[in-house]
Amino acid sequence: MVNTAPLYLQINGVNMLAQMNPTFIGFGSQTRAWISNLRDSNIEAQVFLRKDSSSYELVSQKGFSLCEDLKSSKLIFLLIPDAEHLNFLQTYKDQISQGAVIIVAHGASITEHSLPELFPQWSFNLLAIKAIASEIRYQYEQKGKLGAVYCLSPNDLEGPKPSKELILKLSQALGVTAGPFEVTFEQEARADLFSEQSLLCGLLPYAAKQSYDLLRSHDIPKELAFMECWLEVKLIADAMVKMGPEEFFKLISPHALVGSEFAQERIFDKEQQRIIEDMRHNIWNGDFFKEVQETDIEAVRTRVLQRWSSSEIQDTFNQLKKDLIPK
């Protein structure tokens, strides 16, 4: 097969990475996106699974190799959920070689547990691509655009040294086009956790549901309410991202303009600012990590899923998905 990887990867990157025997831990959605992008950039990696994993057949179907000896790998991608990082490293610490380079996709576990101090024998590095897994794969396939940030390990290790050059090669092989921009582990963790709470996973879905439910209670058909309050979130978000703030507000209709000004003056008042500042403070001082540790995550997940599965907006989504939702 003709090597179509960028020249810098053919000359230096592939050899460097091949010698490090890159290995992904687990086969979740992030791993599947990253490892597929790397393979299409002519960088082969393997997958390490726990003995009780249900992913063995899927790894085989996708044509990836299984890692049977972690010590053979000098480059490990730890893309399992952040809450599982510490337990995994404690469990497999004797199977990971001295001087291994460990790549994480978020800074939360590093910040919460000070992993470089707990495990000074390894080099922890951050490469955070700012997109969900399906988008990482899609943008790579479409030769689209992806942004990322990085942070290099503070540890001075024997063996292969983590370097900016390595992160840059990985980033470009994964399809990153903007950056990666240098940050600290703490900055990435704080920004990621805060944006999830204040906007992405807190405000957006629940404001959409509240708006939908209110329209339904005032005799608006469910199909219309769904398209206005859920489907158009994507359309508006796409316009915001593509155009930027100034052009977006030049674009919207007079009714939308006046309505948005009416809303922001009333919704984003001093009380809202106080609440959002409390959320930020809770993350910055570490209380959020303690609360997560003390929380029954599965109980919360069950409660949340029950809330949404019993909602009419979910039923409407199921009804309209085939004909209305873009693939």
Domain holding 169: CATH number? 3.40.50.720
| 312 in any annotated domain | yes
Residue where a domain stops, chosen among 155, 183, 211: 183
Q: Tens of pLDDT along 49-84? A: 988 888 898 999 999 999 888 988 999 999 999 989
Percent of residues, the chain, with pLDDT higher than 70: 93
> Does residue 111 surpass a pLDDT of 70?
yes
Mean of pLDDT values over 217-230: 96
Mean of pLDDT values over 41-54: 90
Quote the CA–CA distance of 37 and 292 in Å, as a whole number: 32
Do 234 and 122 lie in one domain? The reply is no
Do 240 and 98 lie in one domain? The reply is no
Do 211 and 123 lie in one domain? The reply is no
| 192 in any annotated domain | no
Do 38 and 154 lie in one domain? The reply is yes
Q: Tens of pLDDT along 117-154? A: 999 989 899 999 999 999 999 999 999 999 999 999 87
| 258 in any annotated domain | yes
Angle at CA 298, nearest 5°, toward 95 and 35? 45
> Does residue 33 surpass a pLDDT of 60?
yes
Going by pLDDT thresholds of 50, 70 and 90, the confidence category of residue 287 is very high
| 26 in any annotated domain | yes
> Does residue 166 surpass a pLDDT of 90?
no
Quote the CA–CA distance of 20 and 7 in Å, as a whole number: 19
Residue where a domain stops, chosen among 131, 155, 183: 183
Contact 59, 24 (CB under 8 A): no
> Does residue 109 surpass a pLDDT of 80?
yes
Quote the CA–CA distance of 263 and 217 in Å, as a whole number: 20
| 197 in any annotated domain | no
What pLDDT is attached to residue 4? 40
Do 19 and 142 lie in one domain? The reply is yes
pTM: 0.84
Going by pLDDT thresholds of 50, 70 and 90, the confidence category of residue 11 is very low
Residue where a domain stops, chosen among 126, 151, 183: 183
> Does residue 5 surpass a pLDDT of 60?
no
| 196 in any annotated domain | no
CA distances from 277 to 112, 193, 265 (A): 20, 13, 18
CA distances from 27 to 48, 52, 231, 298 (A): 8, 13, 30, 21
Do 164 and 212 lie in one domain? The reply is no
For the chain, the average pLDDT equals: 89
Torsion of CA 60, 63, 64, 69, to 10 degrees: 50
Do 216 and 92 lie in one domain? The reply is no
What pLDDT is attached to residue 159? 46
Q: Tens of pLDDT along 260-282? A: 999 999 998 899 999 999 999 99
| 311 in any annotated domain | yes
> Does residue 242 surpass a pLDDT of 50?
yes
Q: Tens of pLDDT along 310-319? A: 999 999 999 9
- Integer Rg of the chain from CA: 22
Q: Range of 128's domain?
A: 7-183
Number of domains in the chain: 2
Do 24 and 76 lie in one domain? The reply is yes
Mean of pLDDT values over 170-192: 93
| 115 in any annotated domain | yes
Going by pLDDT thresholds of 50, 70 and 90, the confidence category of residue 179 is confident
